[in-house]
Amino acid sequence: MTKRIPYAAAVSFCILLMAACGNKKNGAVIAEVNGKQLTLEEIMRIVPDNSTAEDSAQLVERYVKDWATQQLLVTKAEETLTNDQQSFEERIEEYRLSLLTHAFEQEWVRQKLDTNVTDAEIQAYYDANEGNFELKDYIVQVKFCAVAKDSKSVDGVRKLFQSAVPEDLGRWEQACVDAGASFYFEEDTWMSWVDFIRQVPLEVYNVESFLQTNKNIEFVKENTMYLIQFIKYQLRGSKSPLSFERERIANMILNKRKQDSLAALRKDMYEQAMQDGTIKTYYTK
């Protein structure tokens, strides 16, 4: 009676066999599904040289399982689909050509496109498209920090946070660093309300009313003290400020520049090819 080796043991055996072979010429069959075989050579390609025996065994086991499942699916597809449904040559060629032309255009743009967008261009685009810049979210200019409630530095951090003396801003930031506190303040930089509450666990049900009635806030949650100061805010539905839209506008200008450049490339290539006879047409208009 032939004994069946447990699967885990078989996998471990494969790993040991690979180590013993030390090359990729071994044609030992590791698994078989409907006549299709997975060889030791293929397995050896996926196992990193520096992996442990346990990691290698898990990797091989997962790979063999995925490979076998894929073979079963392929077999089922071949049995079920019509010949027309299985004919992918034309679509594959179209996809290859699409990838090829896309790669060329991306490289051409990388080499040729001027990616410098001036402040004047951004201002002009903003002025010409004011109606397109309506805020979809509340935005704030905000200063905040989060410090452990039982930290000996809490009082000092709070005092510097609340100070209106310009020199105290740097002292506050340093105090936060010394206390291991997280902090944020980027002067004149807008932050969306969604991004803000991802960082500060505020529970606000009416954002508009909250912003209109609160400027300085202090609260404790899960042994952390949060200090917040709203410098400015703008309500959803109002005109979005240029400083908040600057990056998006620059990207839109670059994208338009890219599309125009590629359109000109295609036009120039076509016209040149028509002139030098590369393109030959055999019809009359």
In the predicted structure, residue 26 carries a pLDDT above the cut 70 = no
Query: pLDDT value at position 24?
Result: 44
CA dist 103 and 275 (Å) reads 26
Question: How does DSSP assign 178-243, residue by residue?
Answer: HHT-EEEE-TT--EEHHHHHHHS----S-HHHHHHH-SEEEEEETTEEEEEEEEEEE-TTSBPPHH
* pLDDT at residue 158 in the model: 93
Name the band, by pLDDT with cuts 50, 70 and 90, for residue 89. confident
Q: How many other CB atoms sit within 10 Å of the CB of residue 167?
A: 9
Report the range out of 62-66, 84-88, 116-120, 281-285 with the highest average pLDDT.
116-120
- pLDDT for the residue numbered 82: 80
Q: How high is the pLDDT of residue 105?
A: 92
- CB-based contact 57:15 (threshold 8 Å): yes
Compute the CA torsion angle 20, 22, 24, 29 (nearest 10 deg).
Answer: 10
> How many angstroms separate the CA atoms of 210 and 249, rounded?
30
pTM of the model: 0.63
How far is the C-alpha of 59 from the C-alpha of 11, rounded, in Å? 10
CA distance 84 to 118: 54
Residue 86 has pLDDT above 80, yes or no: no
Q: For the chain, what are the domain ranges?
A: 7-80, 88-134+242-257, 135-234
- The pLDDT of residue 184 is 94
Mean per-residue pLDDT over the chain, rounded: 85
What is the mean predicted confidence (pLDDT) over 78-85?
Answer: 80
Of residues 284 and 240, more confidently modeled: 240
Please write the tens of the pLDDT for every residue from 167-215: 999 999 999 999 999 999 998 899 999 999 999 999 899 999 999 999 9
* Rounded mean pLDDT, 218-227: 93
Q: How far is CA 81 from CA 70, 74, 85, 92, in A?
A: 16, 10, 6, 18
Q: Which of 54-63, 105-114, 219-228 has the lowest mean pLDDT?
A: 54-63
Q: Which stretch of 49-63, 102-116, 129-143, 185-199 has the lowest confidence by average pLDDT?
A: 49-63
CATH number of 135-234: 3.10.50
